[in-house]
């Protein structure tokens, strides 16, 4: 029979092993997600799940592989098939066309920027972005990538190959978008991060002028801005000052508050019945 002390030591050792993997786990999450907040959330949820399911860990794979596999599945469950993701089949069809090519200088210039590279990576479906990040960024062997993704070694190698091609094409598309926006003040992400403050009248004059100049010239941001303004206005329509609380809800609230008579209700609790 295993003693409580031995069980406690195993739990402590497992927790220590999980903690040792946090830098690599966060690096992986940051590479396959759109922003730091999403990466932190994924890592946090992965750690919570790992500790909750520590008894299920049998040591068939390393803690590193086990943790990355858990995070991978979480990321896939959250994303499924996002509309911004490239179709890898379409990309491979392009690469099969002997006339297809890219501007290598532009692609490599984009790839030198960590932000640009991450932006391109998140346009790949999770199955492919994870394969490329783990193999090419983290230096994992294809066999361990296969274990994380739950696929065969040949399938992992195929995902790495196709993911690399899709990443180059995504970077090439970025270059085309940049060319369309050449001379536009601010990057699109800088502008989009400022739009909410602009709508709320919180931007200072210099930043407001820069954003307005961007919106006047950008090829892609004005529809997003218009949609944000329109949705905000639609949300305002949900506020009805004449809303009447349903009678049953008002009665339950009175009981919870210890108010028996409707006449004793706090403001707003009368059902209007």
Q: What is the DSSP letter of 136?
A: I
Evaluate whether 245 touches 272 at the Cβ level (below 8 Å). Answer: yes
Q: Which residue has the tokens 């690469």?
A: 95
Predicted pLDDT of residue 273: 44
- By mean pLDDT, which of 61-65, 125-129, 162-166, 175-179 is the weakest? 175-179
Number of helical (H) and strand (E) elements in the chain, helices listed first: 14, 0
Which CATH number fits the domain 88-180, given the four candidates 1.10.1060.10, 3.40.50.1970, 1.10.10.10, 3.40.50.150? 1.10.10.10
**pLDDT band per the 50, 70, 90 thresholds, residue 139:** very high
Start-end ranges of CATH 1.10.1740.10 in the chain?
4-79
**pLDDT band per the 50, 70, 90 thresholds, residue 246:** confident
Q: 59 in helix, strand or coil?
A: coil
The CA dihedral of 207, 213, 219, 221, to the nearest 10 degrees, is 30
Start-end ranges of CATH 1.10.10.10 in the chain?
88-180
Evaluate whether 165 touches 102 at the Cβ level (below 8 Å). Answer: no
Tokens of 123: 């346009």
Residues 6+ away with beta carbon under 8 Å from 188 = 177, 181, 214, 218, 220, 221
Predicted pLDDT of residue 1: 46
Indicate if the pLDDT at residue 178 is higher than 70: no
Q: Over the chain, what is the mean pLDDT?
A: 83
Predicted pLDDT of residue 192: 86
The CA dihedral of 128, 134, 138, 144, to the nearest 10 degrees, is -150
DSSP letters for 156-211: HHHHHHHHHHHHHHHHHHHHHHHHHTTT-SS-HHHHHHHHHHHHTT---HHHHHHH
Q: Does domain 4-79 have CATH number 1.10.1740.10?
A: yes
Top-confidence residue, 198 or 255: 198
Top-confidence residue, 184 or 42: 42
- By mean pLDDT, which of 4-13, 118-127, 132-141 is the weakest? 4-13
pLDDT in tens, 77-115: 887 645 567 888 998 998 988 898 888 988 888 888 888
pLDDT (average), residues 28-34: 90
């Amino acid at each position: 029979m295993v003693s409580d002390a031995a069980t406690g030591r195993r739990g402590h050792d497992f927790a220590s092993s999980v903690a040792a993997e946090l830098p690599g786990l966060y690096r992986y999450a940051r590479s396959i997600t759109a922003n730091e907040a999403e990466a932190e959330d994924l890592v946090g949820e992965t750690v919570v799940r790992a500790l909750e399911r520590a008894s299920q860990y049998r040591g068939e794979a390393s803690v590193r592989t086990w943790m990355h596999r858990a995070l991978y599945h979480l990321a896939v469950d959250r994303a499924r098939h996002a509309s911004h993701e490239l179709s890898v089949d379409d990309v491979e069809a392009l690469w099969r066309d002997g006339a297809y090519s890219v501007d290598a200088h532009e692609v490599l210039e984009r790839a030198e920027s960590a932000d640009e590279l991450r932006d391109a990576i998140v346009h790949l479906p999770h199955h492919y972005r994870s394969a490329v990040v783990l193999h090419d960024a983290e230096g994992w062997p294809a066999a361990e990538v296969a274990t994380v993704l739950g696929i065969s070694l040949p399938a992992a190698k195929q995902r790495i190959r196709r993911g690399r091609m899709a990443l180059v094409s995504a970077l090439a598309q970025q270059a085309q978008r940049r060319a369309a926006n050449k001379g536009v003040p601010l990057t699109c992400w800088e502008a989009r991060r400022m739009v909410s403050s602009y709508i709320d009248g919180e931007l200072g004059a210099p930043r407001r002028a820069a954003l307005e100049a961007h919106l006047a010239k950008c090829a892609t941001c004005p529809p997003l801005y218009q949609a944000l303004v329109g949705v905000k206005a639609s949300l305002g329509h949900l506020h009805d000052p004449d809303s009447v609380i349903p009678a049953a809800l008002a009665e339950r609230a009175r009981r919870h508050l210890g108010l028996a008579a409707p006449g004793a209700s706090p403001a707003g609790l009368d059902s209007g019945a």
